[in-house]
Amino acid sequence: MRTGRFNATAVNVDLGINEKTGNMYARVIFRVEDGDCAGEFVSKFLSFSDKAITKSLTTLRDMGWQGDEPGLITVEDLPEMMSITVERGEDFNGSPSYLVQWINRIGEYGPALQGSLNATQRSEFSEKYRVLASQIPKRPRAEPKQDPRNNPVDYHNQRRGVVAGAHNRRPQRSNIQPNEQREPGMDDDDKIPF
């Protein structure tokens, strides 16, 4: 697992109680459905404390929950695929872990716009600022960087400090010429007992 934003579906819901605070919570386990982490699992803890219960229930509603009794919630009650943001954190036991920090409906990445431009407004906007935009120098597009994880052999060799392509190189030849006389102890063959 790694940090980032993923599409995910809920695959399990457990209800529990925090022994230190006495607050109930739901642990929702998500399965990542896309990207390089597809198939991996990550958890979100939703607190039912007095301060957090409204936010937790709203999150469950966003996930498709239609019920009125949170104590009876099951994974079948959470059918919606969600956009989750995964970050490093600590679970309820204080152990470091990857956890879901944010859950959003797919396509919601912040507050809604106050007003979207219609086609006429877009055209007027373009006309008004076309000259100014043409006077600002264009920057060349950067070449996309190759993700080394796409080639597992090179990625693991790079992490171990092996030079790329070293496995295809010919072995180094010794400095001994074919007709040259060798003295005992000049090479490792003299150490062989037979």
Under 8 Å between Cβ of 103 and 8: no
State pTM to two decimals.
Answer: 0.55
User: In this structure, is residue 16 part of a structural domain?
Assistant: yes
Q: First and final CA of the chain: distance in angstroms?
A: 54
Distance separating alpha carbons of residues 15 and 26, to the nearest angstrom: 4
Note down the domain range covering 66.
4-105
User: In this structure, is residue 145 part of a structural domain?
Assistant: no
Give the contacts of 16 (CB within 8 A, at least 6 positions apart).
Answer: 24, 25, 26, 27
User: In this structure, is residue 169 part of a structural domain?
Assistant: no
User: In this structure, is residue 110 part of a structural domain?
Assistant: no
Task: Count how many domains the chain has.
Answer: 1
| CATH at residue 42 | 2.40.50
User: In this structure, is residue 140 part of a structural domain?
Assistant: no
User: In this structure, is residue 152 part of a structural domain?
Assistant: no
75-132: pLDDT as tens digits:
998 888 899 999 998 876 778 889 999 888 876 655 555 566 778 887 887 787 677 7
